[in-house]
Every structure is written in structure tokens, then in C-alpha cells.
Amino acid sequence: MSVIRHDWTKEEILDIYNKPLMDLLYEAASIHREHHDPNTVQVSTLLSIKTGGCPEDCGYCPQAARYHTDIEANDLMSVQQVKAQALRAKASGSSRVCMGAAWRNVKDGQEFDNVLEMVRTINKLDMEVCCTLGMITENQAQRLAEAGLYAYNHNLDTSEEYYKEVISTRGYEDRLQTIDNVRKTNVTVCSGGIIGMGENVEDRAGMLVALSKLNPQPESVPINALVAVEGTPMEDEKPVAIWEMIRMVATTRIIMPKTQVRLSAGRTEMSREGQAMCFFAGANSIFAGDKLLTTPNPDVNEDMEMFKMLGLNPQKPFVKKAQPETIEAKDSKFEPLGEKPKWSRPDHTIDRNETAKQKAKGIIADK
């Protein structure tokens, strides 16, 4: 029986990652079957409720306002628009709706109140609700929990060392603090990262060390393959080989046995055979729908056809954790505090991020 460990070292994880592939797959699949139904995959729909205009400089992100990526910025969606999308997702087989807003951090006010109402509305549809809204305070996390939030996503993205080569507008400790704030509620944690950003294998192991040290470990860990978008600092990065993705999924499964490992961005570049090997290696969660926030994703009908071919079944909602209660706004015990937390702003710059920023300025000036 596999044991949950919080003391993994980078060297131990690298030894696992670099095993002969057949040995790695066998070990990962065996651990997967100890803790999960190997023929069940959790299906989520990711919905961008507020697109573009983000003030951060994440090198991978087409929603950063400072880069020119032809992403059309949109205001926050209405509660009714979100409900309609959630109903469509439910009809197509999704058990969870993940709502993303291109914010640096949550600010108390009408927009956050509207997001809380979206959470209440979707939870009442008997669907799991996840949000990814940037950094949040403990009080804001409590308000989301009261509304019926099931999970909060806040990715570590990469190792602490390589993080400084990806983002300069916030610190790694802010990510950890946000996760800690969520952990003070009954909301589950979704946190993972991206491979293919120019990092080395040691950085991938470093990210898994940081995630595995969290106690408890995240209930969901997304493993994303970079989707290189023109106009971003990472537009020239080469696609991740499927073998790297399979190794990363398998290693994550071994390091975090009970976690749902989410096969996330980059699936459009993966064959069905490659995805099948990821499922065998321990991936048991995907995003469905033709778009992940702003980047392409396989059509839901294609996914359901693949599920049928592989004998996979969509996971029902609230299998891993009971449905949270929804408390109406008028009955809330937590009031908006108008907080202005001092999230960090590191003082370094990243050359490729600055180059993409200057390039965007030139394109906009030429127009």
C-alpha cells in the first residue's frame, strides 16, 4: 500500500522520472489502481468569465495586457450567462465548472459579489464549482466557501528557482500564501504547473517537491503542456514531446497517490494513443470543451468518442468530497473587509518578457 509522503527530495523524484518507461508506467498504474477507479475520469469545463487585460507578466499567458496576442478583452460575464454555460457543460457530461478571471488578485466589491453569486448558482445545479481568480485573502476564501465553492485553483507553475524566469510581477510565496488561505476553509485545492517553458527536468522535479510538501497535498494537480501563443515571450518554445508528458503524469501519480492528476492544456497536440498512455499512467481528470480560457482544446464530442473507445466513464460530481452547502449572501457570516493586502512585486526583470512587451508597443504604435 503506497504511503503519502511529504518529504520527497528532488533526487528521489528525478530517479523516478528517469526510470525505464515500462517500469515507470507499471509502478504508476499500480499505485493509481490502489486509490482510484482506473476507468473513471473526472471531466471539467473551463469558462473564462473575464478575459484579457491582466496586469501580470506571466511569460506563457496570452491574457497579459502588456503582450500583443489578439486576445479580445471582455468584461465580467453575467450570472445568467454563466448559468447557461454551466447547463450546457452539464448536458455534455461535465461534472465541474471551473471559472477563470484574468485578475492579479481578488478585490472586494460588486464584481466579486457577482462571482460569489455565480458559485451559488452553479452549486445549486449539483455541479462542482472551481474558481481561479488570482491571489485571495483568508476572508475572501471564506466567502467563496460559504457560497458553495468546491475547489480553488492556483498553480505553482514551476519550481521556485525557475519561477523567476517566468514571472516578475509576483513572488512564489504569494502562490503558497493563497493556497494556505484556501486551506483554512473547506474548499479543496487545485494546484499544478506547466512543462515546456524552457525549464529543465530538475525544475519539474522541484515543482513536484513543492506540491508534495503541502499538507494535505492538493486534491487536484493539473499538468499542462505549454501552448506557445504568438506574441507571448514563449512563442518560440518547442512543443512538449508526448513522452515527457507521460513521464510527468506518471511521476506525479507516484509522488501524490490520492491526488486527481489533471491532463490539461496541450491535449490538441496529443494523439489518442498518447492520451491513453497518460490515463494508464495515472491521469484521471481532463478539461472538456473546445477552448481552455483562450487556447484550443479538443471538442467535447471527440473526447466522449475517445472515452467510449477506451472504456472510460465520466466521474459523477461529489465522489471525492461531499457537496458543500450554499449559504445565501444575506446569511453570510463573512463581510467584505475592503482589504488591500501587500502582495509582493519582485524587483527583477525578465529579458524575454521585456522584449515581448516592447514588441507589443511597436505593433500597437504601427497600427
The vertex-298 CA angle with 294 and 302, nearest 5°, equals 155
- Which DSSP state fits 315? P
Active site residue 278: no
Distance CA 18, CA 10 (A): 12
| Alpha-carbon distances of 347 from 104, 167, 170, 177, rounded to whole Å | 17, 11, 9, 19
> Over the range 146-159, which residues count as b (16 or more CB within 10 Å of their CB) and which as e?
bbbbbbbbbbbbbb
Catalytic residue from among 96, 190, 247, 278 = 190
Other CB atoms within 10 Å distance of the CB of residue 333 = 8
For residue 104 the three cell numbers come to 492579479
Instruction: Give the active site residue among 96, 98, 183, 204.
Output: 98
Report the C-alpha gap between 276 and 309 in whole angstroms.
10
Q: Is 262 a catalytic residue?
A: yes
Q: Are 253 and 28 in contact (CB under 8 A)?
A: yes
What torsion do the CA atoms of 180, 146, 82, 68 make, to the nearest 10 degrees?
A: -30
Query: Is 130 labelled as part of a ligand binding site?
Result: yes
Max Cα distance, the chain (Å): 62
Is position 190 annotated in a ligand binding site? yes
C-alpha–C-alpha distance, residues 233 and 150, integer Å? 33
Annotated binding-site residue? 352: no
On whether 98 is known to bind a ligand per the annotation, the reply is: yes
From the candidates 96, 120, 130, 267, which is the catalytic residue? 130
Q: Which of 170, 175, 247, 262 is catalytic?
A: 262
According to the annotation, is 131 in a ligand binding site? no
131 is an active site residue: no
Q: Do 306 and 272 meet the contact criterion of CB atoms below 8 Å apart?
A: yes
Numbered residues of the known binding site for [4Fe-4S] cluster: 54, 58, 61
Numbered residues of the known binding site: 54, 58, 61, 98, 130, 190, 262
Active site residues: 54, 58, 61, 98, 130, 190, 262
Numbered residues of the known binding site for [2Fe-2S] cluster: 98, 130, 190, 262
